[in-house]
Structure 1
Amino acid sequence: MVGLSIGEKKFIQGGISQDLRADGRQRRDFRPISVEIGVIPQANGSARVKLGATDVIASVKAELGRPSSLQPDKGKAAIFVDCSPTAAPIFEGRGGEELSTELSLALQRCLLGGKSGAGAGIDLSSLVIVEGKVCWDLYIDGLVVSSDGNLLDALAAAIKAALSNTGLPKVSVDLAAAKDDQPEVDLSDEEFLQFDTSGIPVVITLTKIGRHYIVDATSEEESQMSSAVSVSVNRRGQICGMTKRGGAGLDPSVILDMISVAKSISQQFMSVLDSEIAAAEAAEADDA
């Protein structure tokens, strides 16, 4: 936890109550965001996102696999997060493992939907090559390089950017030469299919401090929170997932208001993120 004096705590809480935060932002303002793509050449797609002093990397590795018998018409995706011990003192030892697990589960809930796949931001049906036989398995890894709060939103943005940078090799299937009921496949070295990221949501975390809630909280602000609600919202304004942390309970009317605020802020954040991804893609094309 961030060690703050009583005066510093009162300064943070008083500023938020007056809609003027310690770094000059208002309650609903994000810090500046920057996006860099293609940062890990050996991955199928990768991106680095900086949100203020929070710095994260996401990479996507695609491998051919077999759909599960319960969902033969869908591919598979898994999300894992690693918190570098150098990112923050709290990440050393067990602290980093616990946060890594918490972030991984929250991202899976926000981006992959429930166990049935309902509400999934990532369309797993688009990963099927031959129903019940061949599909893509996506391994999405997040790394926290530097932590200054709001890790979940930054990681979700990095995953969205990494997926927009992901190219899946074109697959040719020979059903006639099937062995043991498993068709033969051939991966192209030259043709790649771009991953469709239009339905992938952004995550907006609202952190409650006193009677107010803020977006994109810093580590110091998070140390003063009573609870936080993270809502993933897609381009159409639909809720794809939700997760809460912090022990304090929230009145249903407060949660509904938080969802409403998250929906309106998500469209602004999505627009900024889209333009940053587009700029990063243009920069990569110029370098190529």
Structure 2
Amino acid sequence: MALCEAEKTFILHSVEENFRIDGRQRGDYRPMELETNIVAPSFGSARLRLANTDVLVSVKLEIDSPTLEQPKLGKIEFFVDCSANATPDFEGRGGDNLATEISNCLSSAYKSSTAFDAGKLCILKGSKCWKLYVDILLLECGGNLYDAVSLAVKAALWDTRIPLVKSVVVDGNKVDMEVSDELFDCERLDVTGAPIMVTVCKIGDQCIVDPTTAEEHCSGGSVVVAVSKSNFSTILQTGGGSLHPMTLLESLKLGQTVAQRLDSTLINTLKQINDNSTDVGFLK
């Protein structure tokens, strides 16, 4: 997106006046739509639309072997696909760097045991564990990708059901397992501590959250904070520019406050979705 100087000045002044071009204040988010359990072949899925940003997440499972360094832990991997339909910038291999950056940020955010208890994925210490593949498809880009992706990933993991292992028989180096194939014979993941990412952008002398694509182009510096249970699980500086130490501290405090608010709203929404037996949403 190319902005002229007049457009950049208008955005800067609107942020200074705490009345952004779409009517929001600096700490407000755009409307969101969330839907879970929408990809039939997956073990869990979710689709989240944040204004013009659209993200689809699917979770798959397979039985794997734990690493020698962490014999009691399962595995989780993130894969991001930037659809060429999302923005012309993703044509060819244009979205590869962004996809790698987002997946690495998610891996770092979920590495902490307080953020995600991988021990629950262990089946047999040092021998067998569950491995989660979290596939993320960016369908449309309208700014603030990190926040939208983190919310959709947490919703998909909340929706994920792990089949129960009925029995495990060890015969020397051979391990035989019986996994239940019953639809309702499963357990849900505990993802209450899963991190929420918040992107804080500095425009002029002020910090804002949930930037639009135009606001991202006007940012003098931005930072992505992943917050799990009020703790920071990772911090990533994105885009060009830099932040003064005092501005960075202000951004971290704002990101932490907003992440806690988002997390509470998301959990309440997911509980309501579980209690609602009627199929609703734009994919139904």
TM-score (norm 2): 0.93
Query: Aligned pair count?
Result: 278
2:178 maps to 186
Partners of 1:58 and 1:158 within 8 A in 2: yes
1:214 maps to 208
* Mapped partners of 2:23, 2:269: distance in 1: 23
Identity %, equivalent residues: 36
2:278 maps to 286
2:255 maps to 262
Partners of 2:222 and 2:243 within 8 A in 1: no
Greater shift, 73-82 or 98-107, is seen at 98-107
Which residues in structure 2 correspond to 1:81-100 (within 5 Å)?
81-100=80-99
- Offset of residue 199 of structure 1: 1.1
Which of 120, 137, 142 pairs up with 1:148? 142
Task: Please give the root-mean-square deviation of Cα atoms over the aligned residues, in Å.
Answer: 1.6
- Offset of residue 276 of structure 1: 2.5
User: Residues 126-178 of structure 1: CA distance to partner in whole angstroms, max 9, x if unpaired?
Assistant: 11111101100000011111110001110110000001100000012333xx3
- Offset of residue 251 of structure 1: 2.5
- Supply the AA of the counterpart residue of 1:239: F
- Offset of residue 43 of structure 1: 0.5
* Partner SS state of residue 86, structure 1: coil
- Offset of residue 248 of structure 1: 2.0
* Mapped partners of 2:231, 2:84: distance in 1: 36
- Offset of residue 222 of structure 1: 0.6
1:49 maps to 48
- Supply the AA of the counterpart residue of 1:213: C
Partners of 2:43 and 2:59 within 8 A in 1: yes
2:239 maps to 246
1:66 aligns with 2:59: no
Q: Please identify runs of 4+ aligned residues in structure 1 that moved more than 4 A.
A: none
Partners of 1:109 and 1:243 within 8 A in 2: no
Partners of 1:106 and 1:243 within 8 A in 2: yes
* Mapped partners of 1:96, 1:15: distance in 2: 30
User: Residues 227-261 of structure 1: CA distance to partner in whole angstroms, max 9, x if unpaired?
Assistant: 21111112x31112111112322232222221111
- Supply the AA of the counterpart residue of 2:247: V
Partners of 1:36 and 1:277 within 8 A in 2: no
User: Residues 43-66 of structure 1: CA distance to partner in whole angstroms, max 9, x if unpaired?
Assistant: 000000011111101111111111
Which of 216, 224, 231 pairs up with 1:230? 224
- Cα 1:232/1:119, change in 2 over 3 Å: farther
1:8 maps to 7
Which residues in structure 2 correspond to 1:160-175 (within 5 Å)?
160-175=154-169
TM-score (norm 1): 0.92
